[in-house]
């Protein structure tokens, strides 16, 4: 609603900044005095007042009142409030040491890098085709689940631990290949015929493909878990007393993922192929007129996304003890999609940022916020945090942190 | 997708086609073996000592490939000797190619210890694909090849037959094979209707005999020959009647259907009635979700939340155990009938609450967001946080049967009637909404949201309404589910339920009520009846969804609207010049 | 308020619409005399459709006022504006493609319908009655635009000319006092154009609706308009009766370029 006079805008700006000031005040105050309760009262009162002021100024400006908008605004306040109250309580109680927080943060980064690698597959495909490749989680699973056999073989022969710096890249390449194959088949068989179908159709096909792949691999390898053998090079911990103590494996995950993401970035920004991908992403029709073979580029996009997911699968397997099985793709798939949207769908750096962000929040959140709110069994609720982030970002900022980068709408 | 028509009198052998279809069939045959489907299916006999489901499955790829190849090649051409030779020759080649990958696997599976990776390529598998010749792989492979050649031959020859003969043969084969596969079910139904001695002629225990199969085949073939005539005569008679009589005919049809539905439990027996209760619950949910998806175009993948809310409310309010409201607060007057409206309203409230945040989202984001809601609810239901209220992973037990005027409702037959009533009521509501102002609002929003708003439609309100009403049936279904199983565990409320309901809407036909019933019978009923299908049900759902979307997105029994949407239209005059 | 504004069914003061750095409509003052047939013309890109979108609430204006029947319309949503009495058609025809013609027109009546979902579920007499009346009125409107008998045809299967007519029928469903037609004769041959022109006159004469056209076809514009507003680059460069516009040098310049002004006037054949 645009009022035709300019008087209220300065007042508006001040009102909009007030919640941040409130949050900062309460946060600092609670931490310094270590008695959270009175500050929480201040917070609640402050939010009620601000909410009321907002409501009043909107009413005065003659805005139309919509229940929906009101609820969403209220939701925003409630969430901010809850997060703040929980964090303040936890920090003020001082139950956790700095070292523990740093550990949580770094393991969040590690987990997040895996999400980021998978998210790149989602974001590249959405940027070009405007479709959510629901089956991408299974592409990830395919690489991870298949490569475990190779890893076991390398382990049995001793090669894995004798020459890890050769063996691990072999595993990565193998997994990337498998996942790439699955992704490419997926595109050719299930998605290509539906390029011009109305929006819902490819989505439903993708759901079907997801199930098909899951249960195909169950049929192949059985329904049990298999674990990656442990690599001596990656065991052990890095310690800085009082500040952190993290497993080497986690560092490996983070840096390996970073290297792969860096490689992708170079590919997309510096090579001719990458330029073609970006062109098709911007405008399919015009790219075709410029002589770019759309089918090939799309195929290639799926292939790259698949390769990254496969590599992620191996990296994940090597650093996590709980192993691989045919259902391992579903939840990480959704979390990776969340990461892609968080960072801005279609936006390559965004997927990386989104993944890391989600990993950290999901790791720190239960301990920081939920235990402060008095909720029992917080570690079971990691997934709830992730899914809630998904819903929240879709409601409040669907364009993500770094903004969307999408092709023109399909006709 | 379409191949070019070969309108020709001379025949050119289509090597590419043969190779393509043959190898495709070969890969499929290998695939179904590797994932273990062939072994599992082999446990069921289709025709006593003659054919198992596994063997039937193995014949399928070659048959279908040859059939499709033959139809595509013969399109528009006349039958000449050259054609016959070409088609049959191609068919035989396809059969050979179909067997090839599996034969290769037969020979390498033991030496290379394939079983350590592909767990289902084991001795059982070997036994089945070599037709019990595990010790003599060469013989086994030849048998396999021969069988495939035979299937492919039949497939290609069928296309060459004159139309009426072809139809008769296809009908005969399908009928007898279907009766064979569904043997147990058919027998159970027949047992209610005709004496055992008569049944034993065509069945041996629960399996169809060869004589039975042949007999059914012949009967079906003869009927098909006359069916077309009878049908066209009946339709033309009806069309000649005045309008009023025509609607009477239609009412008579509905009346007949209703009558059959009412006496169904007596026709099919207890075990099958139980299956029908489950089918009915999914039909109920399908009708509900159809309002959101089929009418308003809102892809709700979190539908299971409504189901869960309805179930848990019913459980908590009626349970006599520690978590039941009777124990915690002493309010013990809740029985099922009081609880049903509460469950319904609770589900509607849930639908409403979850709809508010997603109102402004685009189609696929909406789907993912609702999926997220479903997962959140599931995780919370299993968590320790909510355990004091709803029992965590152990769930709630000690739920008493519902009572109906003094008698306990505990038989499947009785439950069936509860479900039937719920379905009929929902159907009436759905039809009325479809033809109303509200229905048109939803359709307009689905077509063009901005223009719909310009016409004066309150889009937010209409969407909220769609979500809320569609949620209601989920709640009722959840409540009925609870008194069926008398316990409630969070494991029953996973995303699979939502996908299940979505699938049956898609397969049956979005927006089409008869389609939903058919979808439920196929996707929910069949796995219940055939354990083998149940094991592979998600795999088959996946394939089915992909197949339907590519080949027949309007569903098996499409509604008129959907047919319009997906049909190609004649192009109109060129668009207006831009501004 | 000037005398002109008092006579106008719709007028604006300083209406401005910006898209980021681009000013699509620039401080526009215009008026549409009540009961007239008025036209908005201008070269391509002049901002004509944007202008329509602003009036009907598809876009929110950045500055200025829009007044309809004495009421300020700024910031009202599209459905509120429809209820207030303004209806429109679209340049690229935006029908509800998979609904039948009669369903399209029935949706057009939304602004005046009252039956609720509960009424539908319980099939109340009021609900049924409104349904029947709504359908009857829809058929009447279809007859008025010349589409009788095609009510049950799915909108996307109608011919181009019929689709245009259906869009108008749908717009009439909301009982508007003012109807905005966006290039109603685009893509039509001379016969169809003449028919459409006649029809527009009937709209105003029989239904007492004020009509505003965006048009490129000068025959139509000069033929039936009583008042013309000329836009270029989002600004109004001329307004008045057809004869005045035809010889207005600023208008000629906008269409034909500088230098043409001295030696010509806009002929009916120019397009």
> How many whole angstroms separate alpha carbon B129 and alpha carbon B101?
12
- Based on the fold, state whether residues B198 and B134 are members of the same structural domain: no
| B268 touches B408 (CB < 8 A) | no
pLDDT above 70 covers a percentage of chain B that reads 94
- Based on the fold, state whether residues A55 and A169 are members of the same structural domain: no
> Which chain C residues are Cβ-neighbours of B435 within 8 angstroms?
120, 131
- Based on the fold, state whether residues A172 and A52 are members of the same structural domain: no
- Based on the fold, state whether residues B148 and B172 are members of the same structural domain: no
User: In the Cβ-directed half-sphere of C270, how many Cα atoms lie within 13 Å?
Assistant: 12
- Based on the fold, state whether residues B302 and B425 are members of the same structural domain: yes
Q: Specify the range with the lowest mean pLDDT, choosing from A33-47, A321-335, B478-492.
A: A33-47
| B223 touches B164 (CB < 8 A) | no
Q: Of A93, A123, A153, which residue constitutes the final position of a domain? A: A93
> Which chain C residues are Cβ-neighbours of B567 within 8 angstroms?
none
Residue A332: predicted pLDDT: 93
Residue C186: predicted pLDDT: 85
> Which chain C residues are Cβ-neighbours of B450 within 8 angstroms?
58, 78
- Based on the fold, state whether residues A298 and A167 are members of the same structural domain: yes
Out of B447, B570, B579, closest to residue C91 by CB: B579
Asked whether the CA dihedral C167, C168, C171, C172 is positive or negative, the reply is: negative
**Residues A372-383: pLDDT tens digits?**
777 777 778 888
Does position A187 have pLDDT exceeding 90, yes or no? Answer: yes
- Based on the fold, state whether residues B345 and B210 are members of the same structural domain: no
Domains belonging to chain C, first-starting first, are 1-85+176-271 (3.40.50.300), 98-173 (no CATH)
Q: Which of A92-96, B310-314, B381-385, C118-122 has the highest mean pLDDT?
A: B310-314
3-state per-residue secondary structure call for B162-192:
CHHHHHHHHHHHHHHHHHHHCHHHHHHHHHH
Reported confidence tier of residue B422, pLDDT bands at 50, 70, 90:
very high
Q: Which of B339-343, B390-394, B569-573 has the highest mean pLDDT?
A: B339-343
What's the mean per-residue pLDDT of chain B?
A: 84
> Which chain C residues are Cβ-neighbours of A1 within 8 angstroms?
60, 75
- Based on the fold, state whether residues B133 and B213 are members of the same structural domain: no
- Based on the fold, state whether residues A246 and A357 are members of the same structural domain: yes
- Based on the fold, state whether residues B440 and B298 are members of the same structural domain: yes
Judged by CB atoms closer than 8 Å, whether chains meet at B437 and C131 is answered as yes
Show the tokens assigned to C41.
């013309």
Q: Of B135, B160, B185, which residue constitutes the final position of a domain? A: B160
Domain contains A379: no
Domain contains B81: yes
Judged by CB atoms closer than 8 Å, whether chains meet at B118 and A210 is answered as no
Does position B523 have pLDDT exceeding 80, yes or no? Answer: yes
Does position A216 have pLDDT exceeding 90, yes or no? Answer: yes
Domain contains A302: yes
Which DSSP category does B567 fall into?
S
> How many whole angstroms separate alpha carbon B26 and alpha carbon B98?
4
Q: Which is more confident, B268 or C3? A: B268
**Residues C165-205: pLDDT tens digits?**
999 999 999 999 999 999 988 888 888 888 889 999 998 99
> Which chain A residues are Cβ-neighbours of C75 within 8 angstroms?
1-3, 62
Domain contains A404: no
Domain contains B527: no
Q: Is C158 strand, coil or helix?
A: coil
B432, B554, B576, B577: which to substitute to probe chain C, counting the most C Cβ within 10 Å? B576
Show the tokens assigned to B487.
């316990």
Domain contains A263: yes
Q: What is the mean pLDDT of residues A205-227?
A: 93
Domain contains A20: yes
B117, B290, B543: which to substitute to probe chain A, counting the most A Cβ within 10 Å? B117
Show the tokens assigned to C7.
């006579």
User: In the Cβ-directed half-sphere of B13, how many Cα atoms lie within 13 Å?
Assistant: 12
- Based on the fold, state whether residues B112 and B188 are members of the same structural domain: no
Domain count, chain A: 2
Across the A:B interface, residue pairs with CB atoms under 8 Å apart total: 155
Q: Is C217 on the interface with B (CB under 8 A)?
A: no
- Based on the fold, state whether residues A70 and A113 are members of the same structural domain: no
- Based on the fold, state whether residues A318 and A192 are members of the same structural domain: yes
> How many whole angstroms separate alpha carbon A7 and alpha carbon A5?
6
In B42-162, alpha helices (H): 53-74, 81-109, 123-129, 137-160
End-to-end CA distance of chain A: 30
Does position B22 have pLDDT exceeding 50, yes or no? Answer: yes
Does position A340 have pLDDT exceeding 90, yes or no? Answer: yes
Domain contains B548: no
Residue C69 falls in which region: left (phi positive, over 0), alpha (psi -120 to 50) or beta: left
- Based on the fold, state whether residues A48 and A118 are members of the same structural domain: no
| B263 touches B257 (CB < 8 A) | no
Instruction: Report the chain B residue with the minimal C-alpha distance to residue A193.
Output: B550
- Based on the fold, state whether residues A222 and A312 are members of the same structural domain: yes
Q: Is B439 on the interface with A (CB under 8 A)?
A: no
How near does any CA of chain C get to the CA of A199, in Å? 16
> How many whole angstroms separate alpha carbon B348 and alpha carbon A56?
31
- Based on the fold, state whether residues A358 and A236 are members of the same structural domain: yes
pLDDT above 70 covers a percentage of chain A that reads 93
Domain contains B283: yes
Q: At CA B308, angle to CA B307 and CA B311, rounded to 5? A: 85
Domain contains B436: yes
- Based on the fold, state whether residues A289 and A234 are members of the same structural domain: yes
Give the CATH number, domain containing residue A151.
Answer: 1.10.3470
- Based on the fold, state whether residues A285 and A357 are members of the same structural domain: yes
Judged by CB atoms closer than 8 Å, whether chains meet at A219 and B117 is answered as no
Reported confidence tier of residue C236, pLDDT bands at 50, 70, 90:
confident
Residue B560: predicted pLDDT: 65
| B401 touches B480 (CB < 8 A) | no
Q: Specify the range with the lowest mean pLDDT, choosing from A161-170, C162-171, C201-210, C247-256.
A: C247-256
Which DSSP category does B241 fall into?
S
> How many whole angstroms separate alpha carbon C151 and alpha carbon C163?
12
Q: What is the mean pLDDT of residues A265-271?
A: 88
- Based on the fold, state whether residues A215 and A338 are members of the same structural domain: yes
Note whether ipTM > 0.85 here. Answer: yes
Q: Of B470, B494, B518, which residue constitutes the final position of a domain? A: B494
Residue B565: predicted pLDDT: 59
Q: Which is more confident, B36 or B200? A: B36
Q: Is B432 on the interface with C (CB under 8 A)?
A: yes
Residue B578: predicted pLDDT: 34
Domain contains A261: yes
**Residues A294-331: pLDDT tens digits?**
899 999 999 999 999 999 999 998 877 678 989 999 99
**Residues A124-166: pLDDT tens digits?**
998 888 888 999 999 999 999 999 999 999 988 888 888 888 8
Q: Of B435, B470, B494, which residue constitutes the final position of a domain? A: B494
CA proximity to B393, closest of B493, B487, B490: B490
Residue A411: predicted pLDDT: 30
> How many whole angstroms separate alpha carbon C58 and alpha carbon B56?
61
Domain range enclosing A165: 98-363
How near does any CA of chain C get to the CA of A5, in Å? 8
- Based on the fold, state whether residues B207 and B133 are members of the same structural domain: no
Q: What is the mean pLDDT of residues B52-76?
A: 88
Judged by CB atoms closer than 8 Å, whether chains meet at B384 and A376 is answered as yes
Q: Which of A182-186, B356-360, B571-575, C186-190 has the highest mean pLDDT?
A: A182-186
Domain contains A253: yes
C54, C73, C74, C81: which to substitute to probe chain A, counting the most A Cβ within 10 Å? C74
Domain contains A376: no
Domain range enclosing B203: 166-227
Domain contains B426: yes
Reported confidence tier of residue B1, pLDDT bands at 50, 70, 90:
very low
Judged by CB atoms closer than 8 Å, whether chains meet at A64 and C77 is answered as yes
Residue A9: predicted pLDDT: 67
């Amino acid at each position: 609603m645009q009022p035709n006079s300019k008087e209220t805008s300065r007042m508006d700006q001040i009102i909009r900044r007030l919640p941040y000031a409130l949050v900062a005040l309460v946060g600092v105050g609670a931490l310094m005095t270590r008695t959270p309760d009175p500050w929480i009262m201040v917070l609640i009162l402050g939010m009620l007042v601000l909410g009321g002021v907002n409501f009043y100024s909107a009413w005065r400006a003659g805005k139309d009142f919509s229940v929906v908008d009101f609820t969403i605004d209220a939701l925003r306040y409630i969430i901010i409030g809850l997060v703040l109250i929980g964090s303040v309580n936890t920090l003020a109680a001082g139950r956790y040491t700095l070292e523990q927080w740093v550990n949580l943060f770094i393991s969040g980064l590690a987990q997040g890098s895996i999400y980021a690698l998978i998210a790149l597959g989602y974001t590249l495909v959405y940027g070009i085709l405007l479709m959510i490749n629901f089956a991408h989680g299974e592409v990830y699973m395919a690489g991870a689940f298949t490569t475990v056999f190779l890893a076991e073989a390398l382990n049995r022969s001793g090669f894995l631990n004798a020459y890890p710096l050769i063996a691990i890249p072999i595993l990565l390449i193998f997994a990337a290949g498998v996942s790439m194959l699955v992704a490419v088949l997926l595109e050719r068989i299930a998605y290509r015929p539906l390029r011009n179908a109305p929006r819902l159709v490819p989505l439903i096909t993708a759901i079907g493909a997801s199930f098909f792949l899951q249960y195909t691999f169950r049929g192949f390898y059985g329904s049990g878990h298999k674990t990656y053998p442990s690599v001596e090079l990656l065991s052990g911990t890095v310690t800085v007393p009082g500040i952190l103590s993290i497993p080497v494996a986690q560092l490996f995950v983070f840096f390996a993922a970073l290297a792969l993401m860096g490689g992708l970035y170079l590919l997309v920004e510096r090579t001719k192929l990458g330029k073609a991908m970006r062109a098709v992403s911007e405008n399919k029709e015009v790219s075709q007129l410029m002589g770019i073979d759309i089918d090939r580029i799309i195929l290639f996009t799926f292939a790259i996304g698949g390769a990254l997911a496969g590599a992620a699968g191996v990296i994940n397997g090597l650093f996590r003890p709980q192993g691989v099985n045919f259902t391992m793709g579903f939840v990480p798939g959704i979390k990776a999609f969340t990461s892609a949207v968080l960072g801005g769908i279609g936006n390559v750096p965004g997927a990386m940022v989104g993944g890391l962000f989600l990993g950290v929040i999901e790791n720190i959140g239960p301990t920081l916020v939920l235990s402060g709110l008095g909720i029992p069994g917080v570690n079971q609720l990691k997934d709830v945090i992730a899914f809630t982030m998904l819903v929240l970002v879709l409601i409040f900022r669907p364009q993500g942190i770094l903004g969307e980068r999408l092709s023109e709408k399909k006709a | 997708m379409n191949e070019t028509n070969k309108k020709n009198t001379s025949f050119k052998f289509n090597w590419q086609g043969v190779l393509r279809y043959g190898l495709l069939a070969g890969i499929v045959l290998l695939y179904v073996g590797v994932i273990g489907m062939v072994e599992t299916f082999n446990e069921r006999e289709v025709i006593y000592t003659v054919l198992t489901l596994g063997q039937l499955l193995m014949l399928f790829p070659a048959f279908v490939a040859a059939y499709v190849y033959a139809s595509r090649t013969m399109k528009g051409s006349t039958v000449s000797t050259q054609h016959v030779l070409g088609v049959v020759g191609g068919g035989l080649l396809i059969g050979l190619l179909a067997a090839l990958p599996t034969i290769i696997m037969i020979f390498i599976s033991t030496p290379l210890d394939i079983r350590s990776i592909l767990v289902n390529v084991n001795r059982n598998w070997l036994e089945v694909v070599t037709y019990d010749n595990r010790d003599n792989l060469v013989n086994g492979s030849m048998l396999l090849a021969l069988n495939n050649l035979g299937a492919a031959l039949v497939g290609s020859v069928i296309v060459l037959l004159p139309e009426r003969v072809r139809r008769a043969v296809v009908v005969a084969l399908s009928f007898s094979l279907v009766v064979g596969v569904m043997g147990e079910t058919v027998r159970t139904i027949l047992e209610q209707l005709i004496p055992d001695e008569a049944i034993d002629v065509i069945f041996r225990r629960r399996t169809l005999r060869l004589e039975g199969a042949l007999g059914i085949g012949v009967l079906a073939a003869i009927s098909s020959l006359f069916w077309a005539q009878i049908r066209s005569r009946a339709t033309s008679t009806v069309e000649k009647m005045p309008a009023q009589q025509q609607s009477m005919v239609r009412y008579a049809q509905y009346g007949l259907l209703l009558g059959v539905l009412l006496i169904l439990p007596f026709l099919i027996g207890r075990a099958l009635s139980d299956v029908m209760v489950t089918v009915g619950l999914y039909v109920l949910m399908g009708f509900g979700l159809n309002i959101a998806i089929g009418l308003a175009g809102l892809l709700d993948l979190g539908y299971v939340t409504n189901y869960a809310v309805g179930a848990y409310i019913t459980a908590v309010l009626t349970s006599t155990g520690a978590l039941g409201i009777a124990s915690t607060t002493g309010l013990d007057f809740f029985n099922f009938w009081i609880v049903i409206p509460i469950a319904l309203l609770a589900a509607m409230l849930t639908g409403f609450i979850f709809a508010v945040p997603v109102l402004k989202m685009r189609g696929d984001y909406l789907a993912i967001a609702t999926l997220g809601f479903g997962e959140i609810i599931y995780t919370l239901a299993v968590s320790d946080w909510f355990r004091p209220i709803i029992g965590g992973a152990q769930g709630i037990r000690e739920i008493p049967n519902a009572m109906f005027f003094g008698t306990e409702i505990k038989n499947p037959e009785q439950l069936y009637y509860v479900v039937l009533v719920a379905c009929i009521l929902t159907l009436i509501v759905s039809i009325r909404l479809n033809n109303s102002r509200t229905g048109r609002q939803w359709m307009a929003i689905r077509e063009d949201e901005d223009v719909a708003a310009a016409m004066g439609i309150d889009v937010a309100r209409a969407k909220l309404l769609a979500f809320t009403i569609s949620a209601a049936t989920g709640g009722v279904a959840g409540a009925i589910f609870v008194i069926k199983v008398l316990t409630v565990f969070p494991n029953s409320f996973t995303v699979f339920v939502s996908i299940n309901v979505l699938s049956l809407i898609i397969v049956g036909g979005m927006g089409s009520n008869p389609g939903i019933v058919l979808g439920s019978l196929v996707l929910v009923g069949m796995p219940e009846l055939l354990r083998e299908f149940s094991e592979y049900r998600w795999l088959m759902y996946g394939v089915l969804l992909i197949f339907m979307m590519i080949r027949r997105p309007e569903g098996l029994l499409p509604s008129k609207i959907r047919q319009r949407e997906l049909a190609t239209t004649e192009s109109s005059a060129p668009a207006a010049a831009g501004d | 308020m000037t005398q002109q504004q008092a006579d106008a069914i719709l007028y604006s003061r300083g209406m401005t619409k910006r898209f980021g750095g681009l000013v699509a409509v620039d401080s526009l003052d215009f008026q549409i005399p009540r009961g007239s047939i008025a036209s908005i013309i201008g070269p391509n890109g002049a901002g004509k459709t944007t202008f329509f979108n602003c009036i009907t609430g598809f876009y929110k204006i950045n500055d200025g006022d829009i007044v309809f029947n004495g009421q300020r319309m700024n910031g009202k949503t599209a459905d509120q504006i429809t209820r207030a009495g303004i209806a429109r058609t679209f340049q690229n025809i935006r029908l509800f493609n998979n609904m039948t013609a009669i369903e399209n027109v029935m949706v057009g009546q939304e602004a005046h319908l009252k039956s609720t979902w509960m009424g539908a579920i319980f099939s109340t007499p009021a609900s049924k009655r409104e349904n029947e009346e709504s359908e009857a009125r829809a058929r009447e409107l279809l007859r008025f635009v010349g589409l009788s008998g095609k009510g049950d045809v799915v909108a996307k299967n109608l011919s181009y000319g019929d689709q245009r007519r259906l869009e108008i029928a749908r717009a009439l469903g909301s009982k508007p006092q003012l109807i905005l037609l966006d290039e109603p004769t685009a893509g039509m041959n001379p016969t169809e154009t003449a028919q459409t022109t006649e029809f527009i006159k009937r709209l105003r004469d029989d239904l007492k609706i004020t009509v505003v056209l965006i048009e490129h076809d000068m025959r139509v514009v000069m033929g039936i308009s009583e008042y013309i507003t000329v836009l270029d680059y989002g600004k109004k460069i001329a307004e008045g009766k057809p004869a005045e516009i035809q010889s207005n040098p600023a208008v000629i310049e906008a269409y034909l370029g500088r230098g043409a002004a001295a030696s010509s006037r806009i002929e009916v054949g120019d397009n």
